[in-house]
Amino acid sequence: MAQQDSTFDLIRRGLWDNNIVLSQCLALCPLLAVTNGATNGLGLGLATTAVMVVSNLLSSLSKAYISRAIRIPVNVLIIASLVTMTDLMLNAYLHPLHKVLGLFIPLIVTNCAILGRVESFASKTSPIPAVIDGFSMGVGFTWVLVVLGGVREIIGTGKLFDNASLLLGDAFHFLEITVIEDYRGLLIAILPPGGFLVLGAMLMLKQKGSLWLKAREQIKQQAQIRGGAHES
């Protein structure tokens, strides 16, 4: 059945319908721990996306050569290897970001969303849909991290993507924005309770948005039915 999904369906599912955080409520530990700023969220999101894309691809390519009896251990080994490589590369080329994210880079391997997509989708479909699915799921996770971190950062400090050039490199200097001048900040926003409050608001808005889209689709279908009945 997964092979019948269109590219649009895969992308929409990863970004919205089956979003790792807002729909599945997975990976909440790193989400709440590192999102006291948008820069940290972007860094962790990109690292997770890279692991998801490559692990989906390798699982799809190797599915014909791996017995079902050992498929899960092999997939865990693939993910662990990729996370180790990502951790080493971040330490070598983006050391300040690596220091900030710390343990949460190695802990990507415990993100059940990655193993879940590899096991339920990538290991049962061809490479191109597997890559699209991994990319869309990763981007869906990343945008939630960035939005959650950005909202907390603006409320807490009045800035957005602070220290982006230091953590991600000079090419990201353009992201650094002072949203509110001479702002004293609200400390609770960048503390753990602020993460729970903002995440709760995002979950509420996601539910409201999904209900609105569903109602809109129903109205559209009813209009098409009435139009067809009128023509007949």
SS3 of 178, please? strand
The model's pTM: 0.88
H/E element, 34: helix 28-34
H/E element, 160: strand 159-160
pLDDT score at 68: 85
pLDDT score at 1: 40
Q: What are phi and psi for residue 25, nearest 5 degrees?
A: 55, 45
Which residue type sits at 137?
Answer: M
Residues 6+ apart with CB under 8 A from 232: none
Range list of H helices, 94-191: 95-101, 112-120, 127-157, 164-168
H/E element, 225: helix 192-231
Whole-angstrom distance, CA of residue 185 vs CA of residue 155 = 6
pLDDT per 10-residue tile (average), the chain, 232 residues: 70 92 88 90 94 96 89 93 95 91 88 89 92 95 96 94 88 91 89 92 93 89 77 62
Closest Cα to residue 98, out of 198, 169, 151? 169
User: Which two structure tokens, joined as six digits, stand for 102?
Assistant: 């710390």
pLDDT score at 226: 78
Whole-angstrom distance, CA of residue 98 vs CA of residue 204 = 32
pLDDT score at 222: 85
pLDDT score at 3: 44
CA–CA distance from 9 to each of 2, 5, 117 (Å)?
Answer: 10, 6, 15
pLDDT score at 129: 94
User: Which two structure tokens, joined as six digits, stand for 191?
Assistant: 């503390």
pLDDT score at 111: 86
Whether residue 176 contacts residue 54, with contact meaning beta carbons closer than 8 Å, is answered with: no
pLDDT score at 230: 64
H/E element, 177: strand 177-178
